[in-house]
Structures are given as C-alpha cells and as structure tokens.
Amino acid sequence: MRYNQLGRTGLLVSELCLGTMTFGSSEGLWANIGQLDQPAVDEIVRTSFDAGINFYDTANVYSEGTSEERLGQSIRNLGIAREDVVIATKVLGQMGPGVNSRGLSRLHIMDQVKASLKRLQTDHIDLYQVHGVDPLTPVEETVRALDDLVKQGHVRYVGCSNWPAWRIMKAHGVSKAETLARFESLQAYYTIAGRDLERELVPMMTSEQVGLMVWSPLAGGLLSGKYGRDQEGEGRRAAFDFPPVNKDKAFDIIDVMRPMAEERGVSVAQIALAWLLHQRVVTSVIIGARRLDQLTDNIAASQVTLGDDELKALDAASAL
C-alpha cells in the first residue's frame, strides 16, 4: 500500500480509503446500499487494516449514525491503536426533526461534532468534512466554526465534499485572511466514466494543493462490469440508480477495460480503480464493499500498474 500526503499537511493517508456507507442499519434509502452488522464490519475493517489501509471515511448521516457507531466499535473490538487510523467523517445532512438539525451553521456543526465523537467512541476526528453546500450559511461562519473545533482539539484537519471550485476558493480566502484552518481535501465523484471535475476542480486543486478523495469510484458498482447494458444484474445499482452516469459511454469504456482485465487475469473493477490511482491529482480512492470478496478484489487494484499503451487506450475511450 502506498501512502500520500493529504493536501498541504504532513498527514499520510493510504491511497485506498475504506468507505463505510455499507455499515449500519436503518430504513429507507440506506437499506439499498448495505446494512452490515457488527461481525461483518469487524471482518471488513480487519481485512482492510491488515492490507495497509489506514484511512476510514464515514458520515453522520450514513444509516442515521449507525455507520459511525459500527466503525468506532470495530476499532475497539479489533484492538487497533487510535493513532494508527485516520478517521474522516462529515456534517451537513438532516439529523433530527428541527429546522436547525441540518446545515453548516455554527450551531449545527458544534452539535454534530459532539454526536459524532460519541458514536465513534473517540476524543478527536482526524478529518472533519462538510458534506456539501449549505446555501444559507455564510462561508465565513462555517470556516470559523471549523477552525474553533481544531483549536479545541476535537478535530485535526478540515475538508469539504461536493463543493464547486469557486466556493472552495472563497473559503480559502477567509482562512488566509483570518489565519484559520483551511480545507485540505475535497471529496468528489470521479471515475473513468465521469471526468467532469477535470474542467474546474482539478486545476484548482493542483494550484491550491488540495487533496482529492474520490467517492463512488466504481459508480456504485457499475464499473465492475457485472451489469449488462440494460443494467440487469445483482447489486445496489440495479435498485438505486446513483451516481448519475452516461450509460452508453460507461459501457463503451467497460468494453475497453474488459479485454485488458482478461489479459492480465484481474477484474474489470481493478482496472477502473487502477486508472484512478494513476491520476496525479488523486490522494485516496474511497473503496466501498458490501462483501468481503469485493473488498479483497478492490484492494488488489493497488498492485495493478497500467502500461503506457493501456493508459492511452483508456484515455481515448474516456476523455471529456
């Protein structure tokens, strides 16, 4: 496993991060994504940690807090030392019935950090991320609240997710002017079938030295090649069509990846993940798994080195 610096910091994170959206139990939307109980979570966390993964991504909203609970419990159950893992979580989504039980206001951030610390059974969060945009709250209020959390010792670093480039630059302007903690990472959707962020976000991240954490690297499982063109097949993507993907283009790219995978004796998923790991802007790819065999398949992608000809062919099939 290789380790990369997160943004401009001295923190080293594994190039594969374990996503925990499949952990927990709750009704509705989350039931389509995964509902792993504690023994299954322990097995997944142990396998990832033994493979060298030190980076774990969750969110307060995942399965209504139960993803955070299972991750925290697992670190305890497995006897993993707290300083050996980098825990990332997020805030923004609705967590209660009140009008202020969501968003990026100082009030909600201060309330939610306490709740996340409790669920994770820890006294600090390594990377605290805003999960998306809150159009109501001024950026200044959010940045100042996050900086206070760093000064209070509840949080080590701060990051954002699903923010446009201009908003990150606005936040960085506040951080610089007031000498406050700045966003060191962006979590965004990026796949070989969805390269839109190369237009605005990649140049901004390169210029600002903001780290990129990639979410849904297999487009919810689609890029594993296990679905047919009409999306029939077993898995969450058959029931829950997210993230949005240009299907014709995605299947054309799969048609290029499949013979490469067969020739190397690896899976199509590994080619899709390896392509991401070859992109210089990527700090860490957040892999998701509903089963242990998917996890081990995805971890093995870190051993796949693509040749120049393969990279050229993949680029030709997927370029914007």
Active site residue 62: yes
Asked whether position 170 contacts ligand NDP by CB under 6 A, the answer is no
Asked whether position 297 contacts ligand NDP by CB under 6 A, the answer is yes
Tell me the two tokens of residue 243: 């993230």
Asked whether position 122 contacts ligand NDP by CB under 6 A, the answer is no
CA 92 to chain centre: 15
Q: Are the beta carbons of 46 and 34 closer than 8 angstroms?
A: no
Shortest reach from residue 311's CB to ligand NDP, in Å: 21
Q: Are the beta carbons of 1 and 302 closer than 8 angstroms?
A: yes
Helix runs in the chain, H state only: 38-50, 66-77, 106-120, 139-152, 165-178, 201-208, 236-239, 247-264, 268-277, 292-299, 308-318
Which CB atom, from 21 or from 87, has the smaller least distance to ligand NDP? 21
Which CB atom, from 45 or from 269, has the smaller least distance to ligand NDP? 269
208-247 residues near ligand NDP, rule: CB under 6 A: 215-221, 224, 226, 235-237
Which CB atom, from 165 or from 287, has the smaller least distance to ligand NDP? 287
Sole window of 42-50, 141-149, 293-301, 304-312 interacting with ligand NDP (rule: CB under 6 A): 293-301
Interaction mask 27-66, ligand NDP, x per CB under 6 A: -------x----------------------x---------
Interface with ligand NDP (CB under 6 A), residue from 44, 155, 286, 299: 286
Asked whether position 22 contacts ligand NDP by CB under 6 A, the answer is yes
Name the residue among 278, 271, 279 with its Cα closest to residue 301.
271
What distance in Å separates the CA atoms of residue 144 and residue 139, rounded to the nearest whole number?
Answer: 9
Asked whether position 185 contacts ligand NDP by CB under 6 A, the answer is no
Long-range contacts of 91-96 (CB under 8 A, 24+ apart): 91/59, 91/60, 91/116, 91/128, 91/129, 91/130, 91/131, 92/61, 92/130, 92/131, 92/132, 92/134, 93/59, 93/60, 93/61, 93/131, 94/61, 95/60, 95/61, 95/64, 95/65
Asked whether position 24 contacts ligand NDP by CB under 6 A, the answer is no
Shortest reach from residue 241's CB to ligand NDP, in Å: 12
Which CB atom, from 73 or from 89, has the smaller least distance to ligand NDP? 89
Tell me, letter by letter, the H, E, C secondary structure of 83-132. HHCEEEEEECCCCCCCCCCCCCCHHHHHHHHHHHHHHHCCCCEEEEEECC
Tell me the two tokens of residue 155: 């949080």
Total chain residues near ligand NDP (CB under 6 A) = 31
Of 56, 62, 128, 190, catalytic: 62
Which CB atom, from 163 or from 181, has the smaller least distance to ligand NDP? 163
The catalytic residues are: 62
Residues of the shown chain interacting with ligand NDP in the complex, contacts defined by CB under 6 A: 19-22, 34, 57, 161-162, 187, 215-221, 224, 226, 235-237, 267, 269, 286-290, 294, 297-298
